[in-house]
Amino acid sequence: MAMFDVDKAMTVKLDYELPEYPTFADGIRRAPRRESHLSEADKKLAIKNALRYIHPDHHAQMAEEFAKELEEHGRIYGYRFRPQGKLYGKPIEQYKGNCTEGKAFQVMIENNLDFDVALYPYELVTYGEAGQVCQNWMQYRLIKKYLEILTDEQTLVVMSGHPLGLFHSHKGAPRCVISNGLMIGAFDDQKNFNRAAALGVANYGQMTAGGWMYIGPQGIVHGTFNTLLGAGRLKLGISEDGNLAGRLFISAGLGGMSGAQGKAAEIAGAVSIIAEVDESRIVTRYTQGWVSEKTDSLELALSIAQKKMAAKEPCAIAYNGNVVYLLEYLYEKNVHVDLMSDQTSCHMAYDGGYCPQGLTFAERTEMLDKDPEQFAKLVDKSLKRHYEMICKFHDKGTYFFDYGNAFLKSVFDAGVTAVCKNGENDLDGFVFPSYVEDILGPFLFDYGYGPFRWCCLSRNPDDLDKTDAAAADYIQAHNRRYQDHDNYIWLRDAKKNKMVVGTQCRILYSDAMGRMNIALKFNEMVRNGEIGPVMLGRDHHDTGGTDSPFRETSNIKDGSNIMADMATQCYAGNAARGMSLVALHNGGGVGVSKSINGGFGMVLDGSENVDAILRMSMPWDVMVGVARRSWARNEHAVSTAAEYNKMYEGQDHITLPYMAENDEQLIDKALKSAESK
């Protein structure tokens, strides 16, 4: 087909005239060069793929620009097509659109690319070192064009950041269906993914970056707060109504999600020292008020911590340096550490997510570009030393937990088989537990409590105040467990803790009935004109959203933790029930090929139709995970599923397991009998 025929056959396309090349603001973090090991044929293919968005009249010019980007950055971002200036989630009425959903998705996309929210905004990376909204700025512009014309009887299909097109559907169907990086099994590894990403055919959506539902670091503060309190209750003897006053928490990372650590520790009452090699991230968190103190002095960091612990005053201290140096110093000074973790981007350890001991951040970036093989060797060496120091602290009574960033898997990949429970491989997990395995799994996910969240699309703080109050009122009236009490305290103090970064959003760990009823209340408030439209969502890191054996499903012990059925069914079920947006991704916080995660976005426009969708979809989204955990014989999940069967008798029904744990002798006898025959 002639190229001019293609142009005439499309009405939705990039503008014919090329935009002026934008200027880049000083002081904005930029992504390091991405490695991909492309052959010459691959490089040609990558440029051809990018040129598919461009009118042929401009191919000669843009081929040169794309070739230069590929050489300098390892990826084609199409910088020319980035809009000039700052992007941010504006009030919904400022967007063009034929339906509320189309405008709402634009709010969320631009919130994800806000300079105050995104990790590398010029490279469309929201968080997690590589989690992108889409692959390039041509895709961004084209998605915007589609969302501006989307109607409530159409569905936009997005494959790894590429807007495949609009297709007619119906009012009860999703308005957008997204998939990211779903590799064929034989090719589902980091090397093949990096090649596909460089070719422009795979997008690393992380969990909520490519699903357009990231709400800034607040999105993980509540989970970190719950994890720290849970660790205190489980390991330190903290009462259910107590906090971590006078206790010391040590970790690393102040980037996207990891930026939540200091804030969560303060809310939980603890003193924390968080190591971070990138000074710009520390400045961001300090300016936002998410850390209280910052220093590059180990001596000063410890002095501040000790004074605050003695006074039992919460404090978050950012140490500008490598975490291994911090651990060595604390050990040398015989400092007792109560809780310890790590939240560097270890799922991308060899791509810049982990900075080796001995390198500054600038040296890390340069070595990634000039000598990635030597960089990988230094990463392995540093991970081994990091692990050695953790073991030393553990022997002195520190509780270390893996915070789901693939840290222990990275230690294993660096050659340390001792990190494995069986001493040989990672099939049985690691010697230190995942935070989900010990804490979030049994005490939250098994009950259905997970990271429900909402965004007030008006960007009006009053709307957020009203939704906070409505959710708190519901919890007070349905206070059944200590988890509900924690959630009430969380909401009560939310405004005081100043957690909003970007547009007006809130996270709340809530269970199935809580999510449904709070959502219905919000939709009623929209209907009554009390607040503007609201978009619901959640972190994919949830009860039923993600299959990940070293994280979300680490407390599932029936062998199904390596299966991806739950996340896929969750995604499909949400689509079937009419959620506004549904997303399914490869990877998430633990890296490519190590998890499958699914999520949703639901726009509340005040309509009765939305009420009907909420009643169907919200319980499903949670209970698919509780049911899976119940079938794995998780005690709290079994009781929660039984309660659900009674509540929805005659309508829904979950299969419950008969227990065999008390029949060990019977099973042993049966096995011996079979062996003897």
pLDDT by residue (tens digit) across 340-359? 999 998 988 998 999 999 99
Helix (H) or strand (E) holding 275: strand 271-276
371 contacts 427 by C-beta, under 8 angstroms: no
pLDDT in tens, 196-214: 999 999 999 999 999 999 9
At 160-170, the pLDDT tens digits run 999 999 999 99
DSSP classification of residue 658: P
The predicted model gives 77-103 an average pLDDT of 97
**DSSP code for 436:** I
What is the rounded distance in angstroms from the CA atom of residue 456 to the CA atom of residue 618? 19
Task: Count CB atoms within 10 A of the CB of residue 246.
Answer: 16
Helix ranges (DSSP H) in 359-445: 361-370, 372-395, 407-413, 435, 441-443
Q: Are strands 504-510 and 450-456 parallel, antiparallel or unpaired?
A: antiparallel
Residue 226: partners with Cβ closer than 8 Å, 6 or more residues away: 439, 440, 444, 486, 509
Structure confidence by residue, pLDDT tens digits, 437-493: 889 999 999 999 999 999 999 999 999 999 999 999 999 999 888 889 889 989 999
Which residue stretches of 434-580 are H helix?
435, 441-443, 461-477, 482-492, 512-527, 565-576
In this model, does residue 93 exceed pLDDT 70? Answer: yes
Convert the pLDDT of each residue in 503-520 to its tens digit. Answer: 999 999 999 999 999 999
Instruction: Pick the range with the lowest mean pLDDT from 132-136, 194-198, 350-354, 666-670.
Output: 666-670
Report the interhelical angle of 482-492 vs 218-235 (nearest 10°). 140
Instruction: Check if the beta carbon of residue 211 is closer than 8 Å to that of residue 536.
Output: no
Name the pLDDT band for 259 (thresholds 50, 70, 90).
Answer: confident
Global pTM reads 0.91
Angle between the N-to-C axes of helices 323-332 and 298-311, in degrees from 0 to 180, rounded to the nearest 10? 60
Taking the C-alpha atoms of residue 204 and residue 583, their distance in angstroms, rounded to an integer, is 12
Mean pLDDT score, 362-371: 92
Q: What is the pLDDT of residues 302-313, one digit of tens each?
A: 999 999 999 999
Strand-pair partners of 506: 454
The continuous run of DSSP H or E covering 176 comes out as: strand 176-180
What's the angle, vertex CA 620, arms to CA 473 and CA 587, rounded to 5?
105
Local structure of 267: helix, strand or coil: helix
Confidence of residue 660 (pLDDT cuts 50, 70, 90): confident
Q: Count CB neighbours of 332 within 10 A.
A: 9
Tokens of 45: 């293919």
Residue type, 110: E
Mean pLDDT of 280-293: 92
* pLDDT tens column, 521-563: 999 999 999 999 999 999 999 999 999 998 899 899 999 999 9
The pLDDT, as a whole number, for residue 662 is 65
Minimum mean pLDDT range among 235-244, 603-612, 625-634:
235-244
Shortest CA distance to 350 belongs to which of 6, 1, 35, 137?
A: 35
Cβ neighbours of residue 567 closer than 8 Å, sequence gap 6 or more? 540, 544, 545, 546, 547, 584, 595, 596, 597, 598
Q: How confident is the model at residue 1 (pLDDT cuts 50, 70, 90)?
A: very low
pLDDT bucket at 4, cuts 50 / 70 / 90: low
Q: Is 2's pLDDT higher than 70?
A: no
Sign of the CA dihedral running 417, 423, 425, 430: negative
CA angle 216, 222, 225 (to 5 degrees): 125
* 3-class secondary-structure state, position 299: helix
Question: How far, in Å, CA of 650 to CA of 453, rounded?
Answer: 30
DSSP-derived 3-state class of residue 413: helix
Q: How many CB atoms lie within 10 A of CB 64?
A: 11
Q: What is the mean pLDDT of residues 99-122?
A: 97
